[in-house]
Structure 1
Amino acid sequence: MTVIRKHFSLLLTIFILLGGSVLLYRTYQQTFDSPIGTDPVVVFEPTNNRTQTLQQIIHEAQKNVVKISVETPVSNRVGSGFLYNNQGDIITNAHVIEGASVVEVTLSTTETYRAAIVGMSKEKDIAVIRVPQLINQRPMTIDTTQSVDIGTDILALGSPLGYQNSVSVGIISGTNRSFDIDGYSYDEVYQISSNITHGNSGGPLIDQTTGNVIGINSAGISDTDIGFSIPIKDVMDDIADWSANTTNDELTFPATIHNQASSIENYKEDSYYLVQYFIDSLAIHDYINAYALLGSAYQRERDYTAFREHYIALKSINLIEQQQANVEDDQWVFDVLVEEHRTDQEPKTVSYTFEIGLENDQLKILAYTNNHEVD
């Protein structure tokens, strides 16, 4: 019996060893016969752009906020507006364009185009004008569903006193305000803690959190921080109806305000503004926008890829001072001092010279050079 048990144990051990060897061999064979595969690895570059900063919201909004210059038989005026669809349609106030014989729109890039009136309601103080050159440009986002409460943080954009792309920060300080002013009636409008003065009218009221348009800045009380904005949700039906039912063949595009042979000397302030906007675009890393402000000759010398590569290591840039401009060869030429901070470098102050001129009747940065570092 003992011998039988020994033989049985030996046979069992041999069977287990053989079975284990077969299992190991099959596992080994399957491992090397099967293709080796891995799930794709997604590498995320650290970024702070997942939530837009206030600076980014303002910069994006400014691209679609325009200065509106109006000529009437008796006077000229300035107002504001904003692009709201991809047909080149711009929302503004009726009192901005009422009685206009000429309407001209100036973009944040200082490009200027004539506009035609699509629709207008004096009762609601709203209007739509159209600029065909802006077809397919990405418009602002309109929010007609948001419930706006007192205390909501807002931005009021426009061109007060002709100063293009100015921004006022405030809050919704009241709702459902109704009043009459200068022959216009306003019903259930927002009261805001941002003054609306000459040139502001027609600009967008923007929610600071979302960057969406919630109103049309329309009226203000002089020498106070009190303004009034028409809720966009209350007038979008009229605006959308005008746009959808008006073709370009039905519109009259008046002559431009500026003479085609206009002297460069008329563009001094616009030249200063253009340089500021160029630097602001670099500061927000909007290289495409900055590159678009450059003249064609400069762009032929340096393509966009090279331009972007030059600034990709720029952590921050701020304009410190714009010095006196002079006209040379039909161009505004002036120096600016800029503080630059590049990766792996200490911040430094640099002097640049900018040459601003007209190209195809539009103001462009024809050239700019880095002069030297300032101690």
Structure 2
Amino acid sequence: MRKRTWMSILASALVLCGGAGAAYAIHSEVPSQLTGKPLLAIAEQGKAKSLKDIIFETQKFVVMIETDSGAQGSGFLYNREGDLITNAHVVEGTRKVTIKTADARELDGEVIGISTETDIAVVRVPALAGIEPLQVVRGEKAEVGDEVLAVGSPLGFQNTVTTGIISGLGRSFEIEPYLYSDLYQISAPIAPGNSGGPLVNQKTGEVIGINSAGYEQGSIGFSIPIDNVIELAEGWSREPMEELPKLEIPDEAASLEEEAAVDEFAGYLVTHFYDSLNNADYVYAYSLLGGNWKEGTSYEKFREGYLGTRNVVIDDMHVNDSRDDKTTVIAVISVDERVDGEYVLSKYQVTYEVGYENDQLKLISGKGKAIK
């Protein structure tokens, strides 16, 4: 097997979620507000909003971005200067873009800042200047289980909203030329066209991330925490770039999945399986099983088998070279198990066969034995 970390392996199965082959934070319950930042909206204190209100208010400030080359993605208004935050891969190679708003207007936009290392850019739309932007928070980190909304224009369907949770923290991988680090992994489905759209806290309506990439094998997306890039965006808003750098994005960067062998991301599937169990998302974990495994194990039996476990940690994992489009993953895990009403730490060696079923990577079979 090629020596790679599972995070690097993941990049080979990712698609960048801007249109035409382009690239995809949360705070605690009492976030720090953006004080002393006149360009940013300040969240209203103590005002409860319904989910419908949050969706309606968010959609008004999320736009579709189109380039002359046919690339398409999303962006959101983040300050009163008419500036939009989006992904760099959405607007790479161009200065002028077309903005389509939620009220069906077409406006002119200009890229005033773009990074060659971090997948972020800022687009200025003079016609949007003076409008109250979306509320943005920083200085706070997400927690697994936080409920989120992903808003954007997947596949050209403008102002699409999907819901999910933060399902992982601190994810990192590379899709040339960008290094994605310290990402939020989300369960909200995203697709090409979502890139650059906001990740929003379901309870407060505040922007906590920028949706940037998605994994084709399931409902797994990745979002750049807004806290990690807001200062960079503000710098471009204060001093727009006079000349934009040229980005060199490989043609194959849009989707490398077809070239990837099973063993290149089988380890990630096992890791994601245990992440789902740790989040008590038994329905999703069960969906990762192959057909024969499901035939022999009902969902009720599967769920019951894991109700008494928590805090699964993978101590070691080895992925064998693939044969006949299947591979074997052997891992050592530590887990807290409930015994006689109390949790005790146990260790197991687990073995999974991973392969494709109907073009979806699945856990074909699995077994485990206790380690004394």
Q: TM-score w.r.t. structure 1 length?
A: 0.51
Structure 1: unaligned runs, 5 residues or longer = 1-48, 253-375
What is the aligned partner in structure 2 of residue 350 from structure 1?
A: none
- Equivalenced residues, count: 199
1:78 maps onto 2:72 in alignment: yes
1:215 maps onto 2:209 in alignment: yes
- 1:180 CA displacement: 1.3
Pick the aligned partner of 2:55 from 55, 58, 62: 58
Amino acid at match of 2:48: T
Report if the CA contact (8 A) 1:67-1:107 is conserved. Answer: yes
1:122 maps onto 2:85 in alignment: no
- 1:71 CA displacement: 1.6
Deviations 1:116-167 (A, max 9, x none): 0110013110000000000101100111122210000000000000100000
- CA gap of 1:101–1:91, structure 2 versus 1, over 3 A, is closer
What is the aligned partner in structure 1 of residue 180 from structure 2?
A: 186
What secondary structure does 1:164 align onto? coil
Report if the CA contact (8 A) 1:92-1:201 is conserved. Answer: yes
Report if the CA contact (8 A) 2:154-2:191 is conserved. Answer: yes
What secondary structure does 1:114 align onto? strand
Report if the CA contact (8 A) 2:95-2:111 is conserved. Answer: no
Report if the CA contact (8 A) 1:174-1:190 is conserved. Answer: yes
- 1:223 CA displacement: 4.3
Of the two structures, which has the highest relative contact order with CA contacts closer than 8 Å and spacing of 6 or more? Answer: 2
Q: Pairwise mapping of residues 281-300 of structure 1 onto structure 2 (< 5 A)? A: none
Q: How far apart are the structure 2 equivalents of 1:115 and 1:134? A: 10
Q: How far apart are the structure 1 equivalents of 2:217 and 2:60? A: 29
Report if the CA contact (8 A) 1:95-1:122 is conserved. Answer: no
Report if the CA contact (8 A) 2:117-2:177 is conserved. Answer: no
More helix by share: 1
Q: Pairwise mapping of residues 65-214 of structure 1 onto structure 2 (< 5 A)? A: 65-72=62-69, 76-100=70-94, 102-214=96-208
Amino acid at match of 1:149: E
Amino acid at match of 2:143: D
Report if the CA contact (8 A) 1:196-1:218 is conserved. Answer: no
- Identical pairs, percent: 48
Deviations 1:40-74 (A, max 9, x none): xxxxxxxxx952110000000001000001123xx
Q: How far apart are the structure 1 equivalents of 2:104 and 2:91? A: 20
Amino acid at match of 1:220: G
Amino acid at match of 2:193: G
Q: TM-score w.r.t. structure 2 length?
A: 0.52
Deviations 1:268-310 (A, max 9, x none): xxxxxxxxxxxxxxxxxxxxxxxxxxxxxxxxxxxxxxxxxxx
Report if the CA contact (8 A) 2:51-2:202 is conserved. Answer: yes
- 1:251 CA displacement: 8.8
Report if the CA contact (8 A) 2:162-2:190 is conserved. Answer: no
Question: Which one has the largest radius of gyration?
Answer: 1
Pick the aligned partner of 1:239 from 216, 233, 242: 233
Q: How far apart are the structure 1 equivalents of 2:208 and 2:100? A: 23
- 1:185 CA displacement: 1.6
Report if the CA contact (8 A) 2:211-2:224 is conserved. Answer: yes
Q: How far apart are the structure 1 equivalents of 2:156 and 2:176? A: 21
What secondary structure does 2:169 align onto? strand
What secondary structure does 1:161 align onto? helix
Q: How far apart are the structure 1 equivalents of 2:104 and 2:218? A: 30
- 1:100 CA displacement: 2.3
- CA gap of 1:235–1:101, structure 2 versus 1, over 3 A, is closer
What secondary structure does 1:115 align onto? strand
Report if the CA contact (8 A) 1:158-1:201 is conserved. Answer: yes
What is the aligned partner in structure 2 of residue 358 from structure 1?
A: none
Amino acid at match of 1:70: T
Report if the CA contact (8 A) 1:92-1:126 is conserved. Answer: yes
Q: How far apart are the structure 2 equivalents of 1:205 and 1:52? A: 17
- 1:114 CA displacement: 1.1
Q: How far apart are the structure 2 equivalents of 1:211 and 1:58? A: 8
Q: How far apart are the structure 1 equivalents of 2:189 and 2:117? A: 22
RMSD: 1.8
Q: How far apart are the structure 1 equivalents of 2:49 and 2:95? A: 41
Q: How far apart are the structure 2 equivalents of 1:209 and 1:140? A: 14
- Runs of 4+ that moved beyond 3 A: none
- CA gap of 1:51–1:176, structure 2 versus 1, over 3 A, is same
- 1:246 CA displacement: 2.6
What is the aligned partner in structure 1 of residue 271 from structure 2?
A: none
Amino acid at match of 2:202: Q
Q: How far apart are the structure 1 equivalents of 2:217 and 2:63? A: 24
What secondary structure does 2:137 align onto? coil
Report if the CA contact (8 A) 1:156-1:206 is conserved. Answer: yes
